[in-house]
Amino acid sequence: MKRIDTLLTPRAVAVVGASPRPGVVGGEIFRNIVHGGYHGAVYPVNPNHDQIEGVKCYPAVTQIPEPVDLAVIAVKRDLVLDVVRDCGAAHVPHLVVITAGFKESGEEGAQLENAMRAEAARFGIDLIGPNCMGIINSTPEVALNASFSRWFPKPGPIAFISQSGSLGETFLEFFDRMGLGVSLFVNLGNRAGLTENDLLAGLADDPRITTILLYLESFADPHELREIAARIGGTKHLLALKAGRTQAGAAAAASHTGALATPDAIVDAFLRQSGIIRVFSIEEALVALRAFSHPRIPRGRRVAILTNAGGAGIIATDACERTGLDVPRFSTATQAKLAEFLPPEASIGNPVDMIATAGADDYARALSVAIAETDAALVIFRPPIVLKDPVDQVAANIVRIATQFPDKPVVACTLSDSEFVAPFTTALTAAGIPVYTMPEDGVAALSVLHQANRALTAAAAVVDQFQPDHARAAAIIDRIRATGRETVSFADGAEILSAYGVPIAPYAYVDDAGFDTFMRDVGFPLAAKLDAPGLMHRFERGAVIIRINNRAGLDRAIAQLQVVAQRERLTNARILVQPMLSGRELIFGMKRDPVFGPVLMFGIGGTLVEALHDVSFGVAPVFPNQAEAMIRAIRAFPLLKAFRGQKAVAIRPLAMLIHRLARLSMAFPAIAEIDINPFIVGEGAQGAVDILMKLIT
């Protein structure tokens, strides 16, 4: 982990490539620092000028008479290496490289980027960029705009770390426009040096920052991110806008950043497991940040909606249901209290439509009655043409009641951006109540606050007490790897899995010594199959015979499978016998993703998975509660409840199974792939019926 304190709060900054000419990036940065009111010393560096904007200009960083904490480099690409060496010689600890033309422009640029990284490392210099727009720290005692952004946000509890420069500036513009307090901005650019993880870790102990937004097109190191997020998630809210979500988008992101594309469902699972709230558009990110400027986290999903405009109440109710929030009908007692003062035209069930005549007192009384029964409130106030009370009085009343419920978020909507609502908006915003124009945005704000509640617990690292028999699994894996084989027999796979606590359906090989005992124990009906490493599509190749009802049938099946083994030239095939388990068929799987490592998969067997791709993912480690969330996330989850005469499936044991598969996969990097299909959960008996496991050879 890198130290970022002097990067973000330098006492002296050099701008290499500063220029008096307009439209030159280094000049824009220098002017932004000077005009932004930076509290430290700033030194322009450019051999062609004596002074810029009245400030003495130095021919090289090494010539600056005082220590420099940060050098911002905006010279031509081919000069960057020399400047980095100068900075090394001058003991500059931090560089922000604005210059483009590196990895993003092809092979030659990539080589130059590597050389620059090596030079910086040689001098122990931390590097931001290259190909970035700079950094901003608007904290009053620093006031540094070391970027070429035209916007400089006011200070506040938000930090913004962006992989993209152009979108970064779009965000800065709207932070400014919305009056959002954003103290820190870092554009990572090509991310040759410091990553989002270094920045997050560096902000861990900064009490002024309570919310961090990441804009990412790829992850520098997802496991490091997860670890840091778990560490700081208790004190800070983390939000991520991850672009390249869809296949085409990922391809575009890959060509933009040279990053590997990962299925978006895995990214989704990963962020949820990390306790990072995902937002899906620039607008949603901005809506969320306004809510997180003074966040109150609701304990549940119940929302009270008050309105003086009926239609907006209906639209807000629709939006709540769409985003998973409840608009519960109020109790009779609450409705009676509302009926005491609201006119007969009002609706009192929730949403509470107080009609256009509602005044400041109505808002106060209705809010205090309604929010008592919910976890949050959305207050819609559109100033009517005939004002009963001044709008700031309505606002004051809402603030007064909201203050009495400090752990319940209150969000307001105005349905207007006009001068009529300005005093209302100003008063509420000043009191930390976010105000949105549209009801859908107000609901989106409540939804994201609700997600923050879930995020607090989602990342919790709970493990089970089960002690796997690591040595047993290791011995089998070593033995197979010694043969150079890639595929694992059923028996070996079953041994490895059961060493990690995965239940296996009863089985025996017909050539086992204990086969007769097994036959006495399990009885009929049975299934018999050929087990040979590398034998795929067993069903299609006649290597599975099911519904064997008696000994004669078993003998016939064995003879038949021997014929198949000969035909398929399977010299080391054995014949495996299992009882026919009946029950729900499940699929558990593991694949290694090049970015995320072991990714666990869960689905319901049969046509559903094949036709609907109805599976869910989890990135290892998958803690039991996260595994349970995975199981509940599939669309077909209702099939696991009591259904058509079958009892409900116990979810916890299945969650432990996923958790243990994840532990196994992390413990043995040699396991490339696991596929348990089907795993049958019957009444009583349950276990893996078929196992496909591949090793990395």
**What residues numbered 221-250 form the site for its own copies, per CB under 8 A?**
243-249
Residue 395: CB minimum distance to its own copies, A: 18
Distance, in Å, from the CA atom of 339 to the CA atom of 429, rounded to the nearest integer, reads 30
Q: Is the peptide bond before 525 cis (omega within 30 degrees of 0)?
A: yes
* Residue 559 CB, nearest approach to its own copies (Å): 25
CB 346 within 8 A of CB 353: yes
Kindly tell me which residue out of 121, 251, 339, 563 binds its own copies, with binding defined by CB under 8 A. 251
Q: Could you give the string, one character per residue 45-84, with x where binding to its own copies holds by CB under 8 A and - elsewhere?
A: ----------------------------------------
Give the chain's end-to-end CA distance (angstroms, integer): 34
**Contact with its own copies (CB under 8 A): which of 349, 506, 653, 669?**
349
Alpha-carbon distance of 683 to 646, in angstroms, equals 8
Site for its own copies in 559-578 (CB under 8 A): none
Using CB under 8 A as the binding rule, the residues of this chain from 505 to 544 that contact its own copies are none
State the minimum distance, in angstroms, from the CB of residue 457 to its own copies: 26
Q: In the structure encoding, which two tokens stand for residue 599, read together?
A: 């990714």
Residue 576: strand pairing partners: 509, 529
Is 495 near its own copies (CB under 8 A)? no
Residue number, 430 or 642, with CB nearest to its own copies: 642
DSSP 23: T
How do beta strands 376-380 and 352-353 pair?
unpaired
Phi/psi for 603 (5° steps) reads: -160, 170
Q: How far is the CB of 439 from its own copies (least distance, A)?
A: 8
- Between residues 39 and 150, which has the closer beta carbon with respect to its own copies? 150
DSSP 609: H
Give the Cβ contact number of residue 457 at 10 Å.
11
Contacts of 343 (CB under 8 A, 6+ apart): 355, 357
Report which secondary-structure segment, H or E, holds 457. helix 439-458
**Among residues 345 and 464, whose Cβ is nearest to its own copies?**
345
Q: Which of 43, 152, 215, 679 binds its own copies (CB under 8 A)?
A: 215
How far apart, in whole angstroms, are the C-alpha atoms of residue 71 and residue 62?
A: 11
> 459: closest CA among 260, 275, 582?
275
Residues 116-175 binding its own copies (CB under 8 A) are 148, 150, 163-167, 169-170, 173-174
Residues 97-116 that bind its own copies (CB under 8 A): 100-101, 104-106, 109
Residue closer to its own copies by CB (options 32, 665) is: 32
HSE toward the beta carbon, residue 344, CA cutoff 13 A: 0
Specify whether the CB–CB gap between 393 and 360 falls below 8 A. yes
Shortest reach from residue 201's CB to its own copies, in Å: 24
Q: What is d(CA 372, CA 27) in angstroms, rounded to the nearest whole number?
A: 57
Q: Taking CB under 8 A as the rule, which mask of x and - marks residues 622-661 in contact with its own copies?
A: -------------xx-xx---xx-----------------
Question: Considering the complex, what minimum distance in angstroms separates the CB of residue 409 from its own copies?
Answer: 19
Binding status of residue 343 toward its own copies by CB under 8 A: yes
**3-state DSSP assignment of residue 370:** helix
Binding piece for its own copies, criterion CB under 8 A, among 278-286, 523-531, 550-558, 593-601: 278-286
Nearer to its own copies, 15 or 565 (CB): 15
Could you give the C-alpha distances from 103 to 108, 202, 253, 261, in angstroms and in order?
Answer: 8, 26, 14, 18
> Which residue, 317 or 665, has its beta carbon nearer to its own copies?
317
Q: Between 417 and 478, whose beta carbon lies closer to its own copies? A: 417
Residue choice 120, 327, 395, 399 for contact with its own copies (CB under 8 A): 327
Among residues 608, 629, 655, 680, which is the contact residue for its own copies, using CB under 8 A? 608
179 interacts with its own copies by CB under 8 A: no
Size of the site for its own copies (CB under 8 A): 89
CA distance 663 to 468: 9
Rank residues 347 and 562 by Cβ distance to its own copies and give the closer one: 347
Residues 248 and 425: their CA atoms lie apart, in Å, by 40
What is the dihedral angle through the alpha carbons of 131, 136, 142, 146, rounded to the nearest 10 degrees? 40
The first and second tokens of residue 51, run together, are 């002074």
Question: In terms of CB distance, is 442 or 501 closer to its own copies?
Answer: 442
- Which 403-422 residues touch its own copies, going by CB under 8 A? 415-418, 420
